[in-house]
Amino acid sequence: MINHLNIAKNLKSNSINMALDIYESNIKDFKRSAKELKLYLSKLNMFLYTYFLVQYNKDLESYALKCSKLFTKENSPEKLRAIGEKMLIGYSNNFSLALKENDHELVEIALEYINKNYTKKITLQSVASKLHISRNYLCHLFKIKTGYKFCEYINLQRVNKAKALIEEDKKTFEFISFDCGFSSQSHFSTTFKKYVGLTPNEYKKQAL
């Protein structure tokens, strides 16, 4: 029984050649038989379609049907082999797109969580765990997609809320610091000045 998983895992753009090598190895015993090639390609096509659907929630039904039509009506073993290669390259292109879409969705979920919970204690590790990815990958992804480091974005959200509360002039700095998620009033003052250029008290005098 031929295992198609190794091909699926190597369909990244930087390892497509590995996937093609595995493909060639898999069909070497029956690449002169159109019937056996069609059966192999049909099973491989169905596996890759299912793999994308389960792993990345990406429905490639139209592409899978297109591939199926191509090798179903072909009877030349050599042309079938070439169709198989083109099919893998096409799936590889969709793989790259799926990863980009998946990365975008991960950052969107992270942002939504942060925007709802930035007044609480949030760590890179806690958010990464919720997304089932490593903290290093989330850190890298977050910076690329938002332009901010993870901690910078959280601090900006907290500072922006603090500015709004200061402008209302109804709460003490101590209340504001903890209400916005800062660990202490001194942490609040230091962070506020770093991002605003003024201390909370200086900002209050300027705003009121």
Q: Which domain holds residue 161?
A: 117-207
Helix (H, G, I), strand (E, B) or coil at 165: helix
* Same domain for 154 and 96: no
Residues 160 and 190 in one domain: yes
Residue 35 lies in a domain: yes
145 falls within a domain: yes
- Other beta carbons less than 10 A from residue 203's beta carbon: 19
- Do 8 and 94 lie in one domain? The reply is yes
Residues 121, 200: one domain?
A: yes
List of residues 6+ apart from 174 with CB closer than 8 A: 185
Q: C-alpha dihedral over 188, 190, 192, 197, to 10 degrees?
A: 170
| pLDDT confidence of residue 1 | 57
Q: Which of 100, 134, 162 is the last residue of a domain?
A: 100
Long-range pairs, 180-186, Cβ under 8 A, ≥24 = 180/118, 180/119, 181/118, 181/119, 181/120, 181/121, 181/122, 181/154, 182/158
Residue 71 banded pLDDT, cuts 50, 70, 90? very high
30 within a domain of the structure (yes/no): yes
- Of 47, 150, 147, 56, which Cα lies nearest the Cα of 94? 56
In a domain, 107, yes or no: no
Residues 80 and 37 in one domain: yes
User: The domain spanning residue 201 has which CATH number?
Assistant: 1.10.10.60
pLDDT of residue 13: 65
Q: pLDDT grade, residue 132 (50/70/90)? A: confident
Name the nearest CA neighbour of 153 among 125, 111, 185: 111
Mark whether 154 and 83 lie in a shared domain: no
Of 100, 127, 159, the position where a domain reaches its end is 100
Indicate whether 134 belongs to any domain: yes
Residues 8 and 96 in one domain: yes
For residue range 1-54, list pLDDT tens digits in order.
Answer: 577 999 998 887 668 999 999 999 999 877 678 999 999 999 999 999 999 888
Count how many domains the chain has. 2
Based on the domain organization, do 165 and 130 belong to the same domain?
A: yes
| 111 occurs within a structural domain | no
Q: Are residues 14 and 96 in the same domain?
A: yes
110, part of any domain: no
Q: Are residues 8 and 95 in the same domain?
A: yes
Q: What is the pLDDT of residue 203?
A: 94
- Write down the mean pLDDT value for the chain: 91
Examine residue 109 and state whether it is found in any structural domain, yes or no: no
